[in-house]
Amino acid sequence: MLVLRRQPGESFRIGDNVEIRVLSISRGCVKIGVVAPREVSIYRTELGELNRSALVSNWSDERNQASLRALAGMLRPRATAPKED
């Protein structure tokens, strides 16, 4: 694991086309921005765990299918870029 120290306003790059920006730090929380092409998938790890749990469940259960549709809606890229503070 690579560990970096960055201050608000600083950034680092992953490969040629992904930039990670530190937007702010307050009360033990770090707000970051990710600049990447649309074809690069970005997942929050907690959603990945939820998705993995859904994959092993019973696909024929109507409740599970509704949950998967809701999850798919959350994972779709948003049409507008997030505002920076």
DSSP 1-63: -------TT-EEEETTTEEEEEEEEETTEEEEEEE--TTS----HHHHHHHHHHHTS-TT-HH
pLDDT at 46: 74
Q: Residue 63: pLDDT band by 50, 70, 90 thresholds?
A: low
The predicted-structure confidence for 6-32, as pLDDT tens digits, reads as follows 999 999 999 999 999 999 999 889 999
Element (H, E) at 73: helix 62-75
Give me the residues paired with residue 19 across strands: 13, 35
Q: Residue 81 pLDDT > 70, yes or no? A: no
pLDDT at 43: 79
% of the chain at pLDDT higher than 90? 38
